[in-house]
């Protein structure tokens, strides 16, 4: 059976094939943020693995990591700080948490944001000290009203090592926090916080924020999917911006309405603000040994820091 002529020949009435639609950078950026938030907030799979920290009592785990956080922020020697960081990575491996995942999650962000804050303290005009790297020399000292500046602009040794120390402290502290959240389910962590007499309003705010941010992310994702389904042609940058602004306003209105409905339904079901889970905390001798070893380690490291500091 032969094909008809109108199928064999190209029809002149058909329009030329449409060009590939240009990518919308705003939509791609927001879609990337949505995917990142989903990956960050839905990562409770690691907490269900049979690792070292997962089997520890959440109260003991919280107390141990809190003592390590205090110790890290009191140390003044980089050798001790990075020794603790090496121990944290060993704990991560024993807890079935990929060390590469923690390193990428922390050290791709912390140096950027912390470095911006400590950047001015590198220079002698902000923090005087011994020159490490001379950047510029003016013909004469500068005067700005009552303030006097030296004619040389350089990075000081004190400012450089102070910045490295601060970035190290922040990075290791965030690593400890990430390790805690990855190896502990969110509801269990909130219930453990209640045992340390954290105010109930703080716990309730954390619980509701964590739970309903998933709903808002899903709503935002559905809005972009509906927009993409209705978009038949290329849109200008102004139209994209109008869509983003209207989406923000619409999402804000939906979140307010949802908050009222959720509050009413919670009150109707007898919610009092306490965290209840099916899991029960059981303190074992291994947990007692772990918290004792953690506290002794913190005291030993702190004493070593005092000895090295002279």
Per-position DSSP letters for 68-79, written without gaps between them: HHHHHHH---HH
Are 87 and 209 in a shared domain? Answer: no
Are 163 and 123 in a shared domain? Answer: yes
The verdict on residue 66 lying in a domain is yes
Give the separation between CA 39 and CA 105, rounded to whole angstroms: 11
- Structural domain including 264 reads 199-227+248-268
Q: What token pair was written down for 284?
A: 């074992």
Could you give the number of structural domains in the chain? 2
Q: How many CB atoms lie within 10 A of CB 89?
A: 16
The verdict on residue 2 lying in a domain is no
Are 175 and 212 in a shared domain? Answer: no
Give the separation between CA 174 and CA 6, rounded to whole angstroms: 68
Q: Is residue 295 packed enough to be buried (19+ CB in 10 Å), middle (13-18) or exposed (0-12)?
A: middle
Contact between residue 255 and residue 216 where contact means Cβ atoms under 8 Å apart: yes
The verdict on residue 288 lying in a domain is yes
Are 97 and 178 in a shared domain? Answer: yes
Q: Which residues contact 166 (CB under 8 A, 6 or more apart)?
A: 114, 118
Are 95 and 168 in a shared domain? Answer: yes
Backbone angles phi, psi at 102, to 5 degrees: -70, -45
Are 175 and 69 in a shared domain? Answer: yes
Are 171 and 209 in a shared domain? Answer: no
Are 101 and 160 in a shared domain? Answer: yes
Are 92 and 219 in a shared domain? Answer: no
Encode the chain (310 residues) as per-residue pLDDT tens digits: 555 555 555 544 444 444 444 445 556 656 666 666 666 655 677 888 888 888 888 889 999 999 999 999 999 899 999 999 999 999 999 988 888 888 888 888 887 788 888 888 888 877 888 888 888 777 777 777 677 777 778 888 888 898 899 999 999 999 999 899 888 888 788 888 888 888 888 887 887 777 777 777 777 777 777 777 776 556 666 776 777 777 778 878 888 888 788 778 878 887 776 666 666 777 788 888 888 999 999 999 999 988 887 5
Give the separation between CA 53 and CA 97, rounded to whole angstroms: 10
Are 296 and 169 in a shared domain? Answer: yes
Give the separation between CA 150 and CA 143, rounded to whole angstroms: 9
Are 216 and 94 in a shared domain? Answer: no
Contact between residue 168 and residue 57 where contact means Cβ atoms under 8 Å apart: no
The verdict on residue 36 lying in a domain is no
CA distances from 24 to 3, 30, 31, 122, 229 (A): 41, 10, 11, 40, 14
Q: CA 117 from chain center: how many Å? A: 17
The verdict on residue 115 lying in a domain is yes
The verdict on residue 174 lying in a domain is yes
The verdict on residue 194 lying in a domain is no
User: 3-class DSSP state for residue 15?
Assistant: coil
Q: Is residue 302 packed enough to be buried (19+ CB in 10 Å), middle (13-18) or exposed (0-12)?
A: middle
Give the separation between CA 166 and CA 132, rounded to whole angstroms: 18
Are 160 and 223 in a shared domain? Answer: no
The verdict on residue 29 lying in a domain is no
């Amino acid at each position: 059976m032969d094909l008809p002529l109108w199928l064999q020949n190209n029809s002149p009435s058909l329009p030329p094939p449409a060009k590939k639609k240009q990518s919308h950078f705003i939509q791609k950026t927001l879609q990337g943020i949505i995917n990142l938030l989903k990956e960050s907030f839905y990562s409770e799979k690691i907490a269900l693995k049979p690792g070292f920290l997962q089997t520890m009592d959440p109260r003991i785990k919280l107390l141990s990591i809190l003592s390590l956080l205090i110790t890290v922020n009191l140390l003044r020697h980089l050798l001790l700080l990075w020794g603790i960081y090496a121990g944290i990575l060993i704990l991560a491996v024993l807890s079935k948490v990929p060390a590469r995942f923690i390193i990428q999650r922390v050290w791709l962000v912390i140096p950027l944001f912390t470095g911006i804050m400590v950047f001015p303290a590198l220079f002698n005009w902000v923090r005087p000290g011994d020159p490490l790297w001379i950047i510029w020399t003016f013909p004469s000292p500068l005067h700005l009203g009552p303030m006097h500046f030296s004619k040389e602009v350089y990075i000081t040794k004190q400012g450089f090592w102070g910045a490295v120390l601060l970035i190290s402290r922040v990075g290791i502290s965030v690593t400890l926090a990430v390790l805690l959240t990855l190896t502990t389910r969110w509801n269990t962590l909130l219930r453990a916080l209640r045992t340390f007499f954290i105010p109930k309003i703080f716990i309730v705010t954390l619980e509701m924020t964590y739970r309903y941010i998933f709903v808002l992310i899903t709503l935002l994702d559905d809005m972009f999917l509906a927009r993409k389904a209705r978009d038949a042609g290329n849109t200008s940058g102004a139209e994209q911006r109008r869509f983003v602004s209207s989406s923000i306003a619409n999402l804000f209105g939906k979140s307010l309405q949802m908050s009222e409905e959720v509050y009413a339904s919670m009150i109707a079901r007898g919610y009092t603000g306490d965290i209840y889970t099916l899991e029960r905390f059981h303190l074992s001798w291994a947990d007692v040994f772990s918290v004792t070893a953690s506290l002794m380690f913190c005291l030993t490291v702190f004493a070593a820091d005092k000895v090295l500091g002279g």
